[in-house]
Chain A
Amino acid sequence: MLNITDILETIGMIREENLDIRTITMGISLLDCVSEDENRVCEKVYDKITRTAKNLVSVGCDIEKKYGIPIVNKRVSVTPVSLIGGEMSPEGYLKLAHTLQRAAENLGINFIGGYSALVHKGMTQGEKNLISVIPEALAETQMVCSSVNVATTKAGINMDAIRMMGSAIKRAAYLTRDNNSIGCAKLVVFANVPEDNPFMAGAFHGVGEPDHVINVGVSGPGVVAAAIKRAGDCDLSELADVIKKTAFKITRVGQLVASEAAERLDTPFGIIDLSLAPTPAIGDSVAHILEEMGLESCGGCGTTAALAMLNDAVKKGGVMASSHVGGLSGAFIPVSEDAGMIAAVERGALTLEKLEAMTAVCSVGLDMIAIPGDVSEDVICGIIADEISIGVANTKTTAVRVIPAYGKKEGDAVSFGGLLGYAPVMSVKPYSPACFVARGGRIPAPIHSLKN
């Protein structure tokens, strides 16, 4: 039987604490769209996506109304296009990006992910062709998101791929210089990428997945922060319990929405991604959770410990609430998308180095970080290699989404609007890793005994 306290708690979470379903993402396999002819591939891709996901947006809106909870994004992820493009020319891959954009526009979705390649152990000519046109693809389209996996714990780190990505990021920044280098906000470099992630820009539909599938990403940093505030002066064991219980409730709503979306779209349910995904809105910040836990500022000493505890408690609470958990699952720390992170950078408390440490214990990695436009390709490769190494050594997903904002220097700011937010340009150490990066080749896979 429903009781008033429970009802008011749920209403309060939605109205005051920004509880929402961040995304319903339909993963669609494009493996049946392979053809020798580039134009034929594009035709088949367009048809498959628009046919399979034709009801995604309307069903999402209907569920939103039924349960009275906002579903912020409806998205599509597809098979990494390098797997269906094969030896396609760079021009062919560019045409494919425009095809994905047209399909996204037809469906009315927010983003489409999967302009991707998995090159952790090496690259085919087709994958090289794809990566060579990623900057143009991101500059010429609005909704297409791209990701490249450059390392896994089992394969090691492909430094040649990192070099190509350093160059792609710089070029994407240049090509979108009139729009704050926004192209880089749609490009992620991964280690140990998950195949069922519903969050952009890194979403794609893995080869082990069914023909199509529904994955749902939940959110709710504001709800967790409010629960911690209400808990008052309690010890950390009790605090962990409060976070677990809150994560459980948030995830249950995600499971409800996912099950219903899967049923209505006659599509298998894949996973719930248990992530605390912030937005730039006030009261929807992961940094503010850490500060509510007792830190003077996010980025100060104690931040990594607090974040590790938060991340662990969210997972423990969430797994019991869902039949299948996957994706990235954890707390996201994108700087530009989190009002508390932005404030911490502006007050000088949060640096790139601290963010790197934080990524060792939470979801994803160096995310939505604006750096000066004159940072060299080599330094960007060094940033990527460092972050990717954390993922490879710790058998976890890490990623880099940095924006070398063209023409901007430390202390400036860039604004992307909407969920992508606003980012103060952060300082980067100028010392060059050029000789290390230029060696190329692969960093061997780490040993997983003799752990220290």
Chain B
Amino acid sequence: MKAVITVTGKDSVGIIARVSAMCTEYNANIVDITQSVLSEYFAMIMLVEIGKLTIPFADFADKMADAGKACGLDIRAMHEDIFNTMHHI
């Protein structure tokens, strides 16, 4: 079972480190990371395995969103099924 974490916002030092640290804290295994910076605008997409999360996924998503708000970023953790369902038949 996987989730997609997307981080968007103004680029700053340590964004990946911060999100990765939270993944470690709640036992989400990072499977893949893609990131790009376009005229100071940062976009990262992280695929994580959530089968062994130490907290319910809804709480994990809340914590990510809160962490994003605290540093002016939009961080969303969403179950991969929403993307699979929408884009694949």
Closest A-B pairs by Cβ, 8 of them: A68-B78, A65-B58, A6-B87, A67-B82, A256-B85, A252-B85, A249-B86, A66-B79
Bound form: Cα–Cα A160–B4 in Å: 58
Could you write out 6 A-B pairs with CB less than 8 Å apart?
Answer: A2-B4, A2-B80, A4-B45, A7-B4, A8-B45, A10-B86
The listed residue (B45, B58, B62, B85) touching A7 by CB distance below 8 A is B45
- Within the complex, the shortest CB–CB distance from A82 to chain B, in Å, comes to 40
Q: Does A253 contact B (CB under 8 A)?
A: yes
B34:A4 contact, CB within 8 angstroms = yes
Q: Look across to chain B and name the residue whose beta carbon is closest to the beta carbon of A61.
A: B58
Closest to A255 in B: B85
**A62 sits at the interface (CB 8 A):** yes
Q: Which residues of B contact A (CB under 8 A)?
A: 4, 6, 8, 34, 43, 45, 47, 57-58, 61-62, 74, 76-87
Q: B4 — which chain A residues lie within 8 A by C-beta?
A: 2, 7
Q: Are A10 and B83 in contact (CB under 8 A)?
A: yes
For A253, the closest partner residue in chain B by CB is B86
Per DSSP, chain A at the interface is helix
CA distance A4 to B36 in the complex (A): 11
**CB-CB < 8 A to B78: which residues of A?**
66-69
When the two chains form their complex, are residues A65 and B83 in contact, meaning their CB atoms are under 8 A apart? Answer: no
* A15 interface hit (Cβ, 8 Å): yes
Chain A interface extent, by class: 20 to 34
Q: Hey, what's the 0/1 contact readout for A2-18 against B, CB within 8 Å counting as 1?
A: 10101111110001000
**Distance of A263 from chain B, by nearest CB (Å):** 13
CB–CB A253/B84 < 8 A = no
> A6-B86, A66-B58 are known contacts; what are 10 more A-B pairs with Cβ within 8 Å?
A7-B6, A7-B83, A8-B6, A10-B82, A15-B74, A66-B78, A67-B82, A252-B85, A253-B86, A256-B82
Shortest Cβ distance from B79 into A: residue = A66
Q: Which residues of B contact A68 (CB under 8 A)?
A: 61, 76-79, 82
A 46-76 contacts with B by CB, 8 A: 61-62, 65-69
Bound CA span A15–B6, Å: 12
Is B61 a contact of A6 with CB atoms below 8 Å?
Answer: no
Q: How far is the CA of A61 from the CA of B83 in the complex (A)?
A: 19
B43 surroundings in chain A (CB, below 8 A): 8
Closest B residue by C-beta to A15: B74
Report the minimal beta-carbon distance from A14 to chain B, rounded to whole angstroms.
8
